Amino acid sequence: MNLQVNSVVLVQIFVAVALALASAVCYSAAAVLQHREVSVHLAGGLDLVARLVRRRGWWAAGAATGIGAVLHLAALGTGPLLLVQPLGVTALVFALLIDARMDRTPVDRTAWLGAGCVVLGLPAVLLPVIPRHTAPVTPVLGYWAVAAAVAVVTGVLAIGAILIGRRLPRASPVLYAGAAAVCFGLTSGTAKAVWLGHATPYVIVTGLASALIGVVLVQHAYRDGGLGAPLAILTLADPLAAGMVGVLVLGEQISTSPLQVSIGLAGVLSTAVGVVLLSPRHVVPAPPTAAHAAPRPLSDARPTRSAA
């Protein structure tokens, strides 16, 4: 009986990982396409969104995002939030390959080294969160307390990005991306709550609103900071935010074994190094054919290592 249960759990883990990786491919393609579209605009706020909705490339990015969201929801329905969410970090690796393919440029050694650090670090990160047959843990906080905290953090980061945008142009996109990541983390937690049957209509509406706010914020991040630093912040902060929701609201567990915690921390360090190595490489020149807006110079869009 236990053997059958363990086999089912392993199959579920495999399916969840496969779906999460497929979702990451879609999200990375969407990120590359979104950056190509927003890099030719200087507008902000709703004016930026109004311009983007008239671009076919932006709608293609939206379609890729939608497919990625469906795959992500399916992964959340199969595996725990703490297992699925960290796999989103691979979007940075996939974006590297997609970007190089679209520009027909080779991938340099530094980028490959960063990709290797991410690939090697992720299994160690996932080890402490592999599902185990233990008694359920009582949630620490309610959903609305976490949602209120997310709203406050998002507001502070977004307002900070607006206020320092002119004085510290390289810090502004990092703040926008951080705010978007927090919103997306809450949305992922909401989706998992829906799968578990713990969500009310108000919770679902809150999760959808959080996703829409995150989409608007990430457009500003890509516009002001290129693709590298914002995507790096998203791939690191989104799993952390979603993991907090999983632990605090849904009662998901992390292994407290000293050995597994040590391995997990080593994986986090390896993944973080990989993200830093990868992030400066994701710079896509603005298409020269845009007639309604002048392309931004490449130097204006290139993120730095310190920004990531």
The per-residue DSSP string of 90-153 comes to HHHHHHHHHHHHHHT-PPPHHHHHHHHHHHHHHHHHHGGGS----PPPPPSS-HHHHHHHHHHH
* pLDDT higher than 80, residue 3: no
**43 or 77, greater pLDDT:** 77
Maximum average pLDDT range among 21-25, 34-38, 118-122, 140-144: 21-25
CA torsion 128-132-135-138 (nearest 10°) is 40
- In this prediction the pTM is 0.66
Q: How far is CA 258 from CA 128, 229, 242, 246, 265, in A?
A: 10, 33, 23, 21, 10
What's the sign of the alpha-carbon dihedral 20, 177, 231, 113? negative
Query: Residue 23 — pLDDT band, cuts 50, 70, 90?
Result: very high
User: Would you state the pLDDT for residue 304?
Assistant: 36
Q: Give percent of the chain with pLDDT exceeding 90.
A: 17
* pLDDT tens per residue across span 130-189: 655 555 566 678 889 999 999 999 999 999 998 887 788 778 888 999 999 999 999 988
Q: With contact defined as beta carbons under 8 Å apart, do 40 and 290 qualify?
A: yes
Of 92-106, 176-190, 260-274, 291-305, give the range with the top mean pLDDT.
Answer: 176-190
- pLDDT on residue 38: 72
Whole-angstrom distance, CA of residue 7 vs CA of residue 5? 5
Residue 161, token pair as written in the block: 């990005």
pLDDT at 287 over 60: no
Tokens of 40: 């030719």
Q: How confident is the model at residue 45 (pLDDT cuts 50, 70, 90)?
A: low
Q: Which of 74-88, 97-111, 119-133, 260-274 has the lowest mean pLDDT?
A: 119-133
Question: Over 70: is that where the pLDDT of 1 sits?
Answer: no
Residue 237 has pLDDT above 50, yes or no: yes
pLDDT (0 to 100) of residue 19: 93
